[in-house]
Chains A and B, each alone.
Chain A
Amino acid sequence: MTNYISTAIAGLSLAIGVAAALPAAAQDLPSNLRIVIGSTSTGGDTYQNSSIIADALAAELGINIKVDAVGPAEGFKALGRDSSGSTMMIFHDHAYLGELYGVRGFDNIFEDYRVGPTVSINPGNAYAVPKNSPYQSMDDIFQAAADGTRVRVAIQPGGVSEIGFSAMKNAASVLNPGSEANIVAMNTGSQSDKDQLLFDGQADVINASIQSNEQYTQLPADDQKAMRFVWLTAREATIQGANPEGMGAMTRDDMLKYVSPTTSVTLDGSEDFTFDKEFFFIYNKDMDPALVEAIDTGLAAVFDKGDVQNTLKASFFIPNFLPSAEAQAHLSEKRATYEKVISAIGSE
Chain B
Amino acid sequence: MDLLSDLTPLFFFLTIAGTFVGIIFGAIPGMTATMAVAVCLPLTYSLGLINGMALLLGLYVGGISGGLVPAVLLNIPGTPSSITTTFDGYPMAQRGEGERALKLGIAASLFGGMFSLLILYLFAPALADFAIKFSYVEKFLIIFLALTVMAALSGNMLIGIFSGVLGMLISLIGAYDVSDGGNGEYRLMFPFMEYYLDSGFSLLPVLIGLFGLSAILIEAEQGVPEDSSLSKMEISRSTPFRWTDFGGQFINLFRSASIGTFVGLLPGVGGSAASVLSYSQAKTFSKTPEQFGRGNPSGVIASETANNGLTGGALIPLLSLGIPGDSTTAILIGAFTLQGIQVGPLFIGQNVETWNMMIIAMLVANIAMFVIMFYAIRNICKVVTVPKHLLFPVILMMCVVGSYTINYGIMFDVWTLLIFGLVGYLFHRIGLEVAPFIIGFILGPSAEVYFVKSLESYGNLTIFFTKSWIAVVLWLLIMGSIWLSVFVARKARA
Measuring CB to CB, which residues of chain A are less than 8 angstroms from any residue of chain B?
Answer: 36, 41-45, 47-48, 51, 55, 68-71, 73-74, 77, 102-105, 156-159, 186-193, 195-197, 199-200, 202, 211-216, 218-219, 224-225, 247-248, 314-316
Contact = CB atoms under 8 A, between A and B. Distances in A.
A41 B179 CA distance: 12
A230 to B, nearest CB: 19
B322 A68 contact: no
Given A43-B337, A47-B334, A189-B179, A247 B342 contact: yes
A274 to B, nearest CB: 24
Contacts of A158: 178, 184
A34 B112 CA distance: 40
Nearest to B128: A225
A219 B453 CA distance: 28
Given A43-B333, A200-B135, A157 B178 contact: yes
Contacts of B410: 70, 74
A151 to B, nearest CB: 15
B218 interface: no
B407 interface: yes
A51 B178 contact: no
Contacts of A190: 179, 268
Interface residues of B, number: 51
B179 A248 contact: no
Interface string B248-285: 00000000000000000001100000000000000000
Interface in B338-397: 338, 340, 342, 344-347
B200 to A, nearest CB: 11
B340 A215 contact: no
B457 interface: yes
A174 B453 CA distance: 31
Interface string B193-227: 01100110000000000000000000000000000
Given A158-B178, A192-B324, A215-B346, 5 more contacts: A36-B408, A43-B332, A73-B198, A74-B410, A199-B132
A36 B132 CA distance: 34
Contacts of B323: 191-192, 195
A195 B332 CA distance: 20
Given A42-B331, A71-B199, A202 B181 contact: no
B470 interface: no
B330 A43 contact: yes
A156 B135 contact: no
Given A48-B334, A104-B184, A186 B342 contact: no
A73 B346 CA distance: 36
Contacts of B267: 192, 196
Contacts of A316: 340
Nearest to A212: B322
Contacts of B321: 192, 195, 225
A208 B176 CA distance: 23
B41 interface: yes
Nearest to B135: A200
Query: Which of B179, B186, B194 lies at the interface centre, i.e. has the most chain A CB atoms within 10 A of its CB?
Result: B179
Nearest to A249: B346
A218 B413 CA distance: 45
B38 A42 contact: yes
B408 A215 contact: no
Nearest to A315: B340
Query: Which of B183, B323, B342, B449 lies at the interface centre, i.e. has the most chain A CB atoms within 10 A of its CB?
Result: B342
A102 B184 CA distance: 9
A70 B407 contact: yes
